[in-house]
Structure 1
Amino acid sequence: MNRDTMLAGGIAVVVAVSLLAATVVPGAIAQPESDPVRSGHLDIQEVSIAPTAVSGGTATLQVDTRLEHWGGESENVTVRVRAVGLESGLVETTTETAVEPISGEREVSVLQNLSVERAGGYRVETAVYRDGARIADGSTEVRGVGTLTPAYARTDVRFHWQSGDGFPPIEYTVRNAENDRATLDVSTFLTNEGDADSEELRVVVTARQADSNVVANRTEVEVGTIRPGRTATPSVELTVPDEYNYYLDAVLWKDGVIVGTARSVANLNPTETVRTNETVREVGIKVSDFEDGDTNRGARETTASSDADGSVPGFGVGVAVAALGGALLLARRQS
C-alpha cells in the first residue's frame, strides 16, 4: 500500500468518525452562529424646553430630548421626564414615553409635555431606561414661568412711547373751560407690532384726581382693527372739575381682558404739578367738587345732561352755599 492510499484512507476514517459522533452525540460539531444582534449605545445629547399652551393657572412645557445612538439596535427604551419645584423641591408632574427601536448611528428626538403651575421655576429631570435599567440621565432648569403670558392676554398692540424717550403715551388738550369745569380731549397712541391685523380692541380712559385717587370721569372708545406696523390714535372727551391735577389712565381691553395699561398726567392746577411716578401727597380737596358724578358715563353723555338741565354735574347748590358762607365769615373777621 502506497503512501497516498494510506493518507486517503485516514481521511475517510476521520470523516466517518465525525459523522458518527454527530449522530450519537448532539452538539459534538458546533453550528455556526447566525450573526447575533449587539445592543446599541444611547446617550442624552441635548434637552431643550419651550412653552406651548399657557393659561391663567398652568403652563405646558414641551421637553425635546435628543438621544444620540450608535452601535447595534436598542429596544425597550423609555424616557422619563419630571418637573421638580426649585423652591419646594417637590415633584410637580412626571411623564414617561416609550421609544421605538433604534438602530444605526443617528440622533432621535423624543417630545414630551409637562403641565406645571404658572409660577416660580422648575428643575426638569430626564432619565433614559433600557429594559428597566437607567442608562443615561440629565437635568436643566427653567425660571420665570409666572411671567409667561396666557393666550387670552396676548396681543401685538402696544402703547407707543413707553420706552423712556420722553414722550407721554397719553396726551391731552383743553377743549373747553367754564363754570369751574374743564373738558379735556384725551388721546393715546397704539401701535401694532405684529405681522397680522390686530383683534378688536377698546380703550378705557380714566381721569383720577392725583391727591385722592377719586375718579373724576371715565369713558371708553372702540379701537377697531389696526394693520401691521400701523399706529392708531383713539381719543375721548373727559369733563372734570377745574383747578385740580389728574392722572390720566388708559387701559387696553381685548375680549374682556386687560392687555395693556398706560399713564400720564394733566396738571390743571397752576400752582403745583404732579408726575406719573410721584408719591401721592395729602392736599386739601373739596370732595363736593366730585359728587353726583356717574363715572361710567361717557363724556358726550355727561355734556348732554349738562345742557339739558342747565346745571353742571359735580357742582351742586351745596358748593355755592358753602362758598357764600365762607365769604361772609371772612368779611366779618376782617371788620
Structure 2
Amino acid sequence: TRAIATETGLLMSEVSAPIPETNGQKTVSISHVLTVDRNSNYEMRMLIFDRGAISDSGSVMIYGLSAITPESKISGIDLKKVDFTATGFSEGKAQIKAEMYLENVDSGASQSFTMVVKAREYYSGLVADTASIETGTIKQDETIVKSVELSVPEDYNYILGIELWNGNVLLNTWEKAMPLSPTRVLPNGTTEMKTGLDVSKFVREGGGQPTYPDPGSKDSRSAPATPGFEVIGAAAAVAVALLVGRKRK
C-alpha cells in the first residue's frame, strides 16, 4: 500500500504484507498502518503482486486528516461561562475576579490541567495582566468553578483569553469580552458614545459571596513560565483493509 500526496504526487509512505494462502476461493482481510503528515491529502494506492508482477490494483482518496483531533489534544473540559466581579479599585486600576465554569463532558474523570488567563486590551492586544490556576480533577458530568484575580487599568475594554494546558501541550483556548469602557449605539445606528461606566461603583467587598460550592483551590497570582508551543510531527495513522480472493495453486 502506497500513500501518495495529491498536491505533489510524491510517495510519502509505503508498507507491505503477505497475503495468506487459502483453500479455494475465499475473501481475506489485509490491514496496513501508514504514518503520514495529517496536513495533506492522499491517494492510497493498493497493489497486489504475484511472483514479482502486479496482478491487481485499486486506490482510494483520503481527505480532511487535518480535522482529526490528536489524542494528546483532547481534554474533555468545556468552558460554559465566565462571570466577572469588581473586587477593588485604586490608582486607576480595577481588580477583577473572573469566575470560570468548567464542565467535564468526557466519559470519565478528568486529569488536572493548568489554566492560564490573560487580560488583553481590546484594540492593541497588549496583555494587561496574567494569572494561572490548576483545574484539579473533575468528575464526569460535573461542573466546577475556578477563579483568578486580575488587576487592569480602568477605562479600557478587554478580551479575556483563557488557555488550557497539559504540560507543554496547548489543549484549548477560549475568549470572553470584559468591557470596562463600554459604548452604546445611538438610535441612528451609526454613532457610538461611552456609557460612562464607573467601575468603582461595582466593587463588592470580599469579592461577593459565591452561591456554588467552593472547590477550595487558591489562585496563583504569578503565572508559570509560559508553556512552550508543542511541536508535533503531525501524523495520523491510516488503516487500509484490502479484500482479495486468491486460489491455492
Give TM-score, length-normalised by structure 1.
0.52
Residue in 1 that maps onto 2:77: 157
Distance 1:159 1:143 in 2: 30
Tell me which residue corresponds to 1:266: 178
- Asked if residue 114 in structure 1 is aligned to residue 34 in structure 2, the reply is yes
Alignment pair present for 1:238 and 2:150: yes
In 2, Cα distance between equivalents of 1:196 and 1:262: 23
Residue 152 of structure 1 aligns to a residue whose secondary structure is helix
Q: CA RMSD in A?
A: 2.1
CA offset at residue 271 of structure 1? 4.4
Deviations 1:165-214 (A, max 9, x none): xxxx4331212223322111102222222112112211111111112212
Instruction: Give the counterpart of 1:187 among 99, 102, 113.
Output: 99
**Amino acid across the alignment from 2:69:** T
Contact 1:252-1:258 at 8 Å conserved across structures? yes
Counterpart residue number, 1:130: 50
Counting strand residues as a fraction of each chain, which structure ranks higher?
2
Higher relative helix content: 1
Deviation at 1:230, TM superposition (A): 1.7
Cα distance, 1:300 vs. partner? 5.1
**Are the aligned partners of 2:157 and 2:182 in contact in 1 as well (CA < 8 Å)?**
no
Match of 1:281 in 2: none
Q: Distance in 2 between matches of 1:133 and 1:107?
A: 21
Quick check: 1:121–1:144 contact (8 Å CA) kept in 2?
A: yes
**In 2, Cα distance between equivalents of 1:201 and 1:193:** 15
Q: What amino acid does structure 2 have at the position aligned with 1:171?
A: D
Q: How many pairs are equivalent? A: 189
Q: Could you say if the C-alpha distance between residues 184 and 253 of structure 1 is closer, same or farther in structure 2, counting changes exceeding 3 Å?
A: same
- In structure 1, distance between residues paired with 2:162 and 2:110: 18
Please give the per-residue CA displacement for 1:235-271, whole angstroms capped at 9, x wherever unaligned.
Answer: 1111111111111110011122110110011111144
3-state SS, counterpart of residue 164 of structure 2: strand
Residue number in structure 2 paired with 1:63? none
Partner residue of 1:146? 66
2:148 partner amino acid: V
Alignment partner, residue 209 of structure 1: 121
Q: 2:3 aligns with which of 73, 83, 87?
A: 83
| CA offsets 1:136-158 (integer angstroms, 9 cap, x no match) | 21111111223333333222223
Equivalent of residue 219 in structure 1, options 120, 131, 145: 131
Instruction: Identify which of 257, 263, 266 aligns with 2:169.
Output: 257
Counterparts in 2 of 1:258 and 1:272: CA distance versus 1, 3 Å: farther
**Percent of paired sites with the same residue:** 29
CA distance in 1, matches of 2:84, 2:24: 70
Gaps of 5+ in 2: 186-218, 223-249
Q: Secondary structure at the match of 1:203?
A: strand
SS of 1:99 mapped into structure 2 = coil
* Structure 1: stretches of 5+ with no match in the other structure: 1-80, 161-168, 274-297, 302-335
SS at match of 2:15: strand
Hey, what does 1:97 align to over in structure 2?
Answer: 17
> Partners of 1:118 and 1:145 in 2: how far apart?
5
CA–CA distance in structure 2, aligned partners of residues 106 and 198 of structure 1 = 46
| Bigger Cα Rg | 1
Following TM superposition, where does structure 1 have runs of at least 4 consecutive aligned residues deviating by more than 4 angstroms?
270-273, 298-301
Deviates more, 1:206-215 or 1:149-158: 149-158
Spell out the pairing of 1:25-104 with structure 2 (5 A cutoff). Answer: 81-104=1-24
AA at the equivalent of 1:84: I
Structure 1 residue 105: Cα displacement: 4.3
Residues 270, 93 of structure 1: alpha-carbon distance in 2 compared, 3 angstrom cutoff: closer
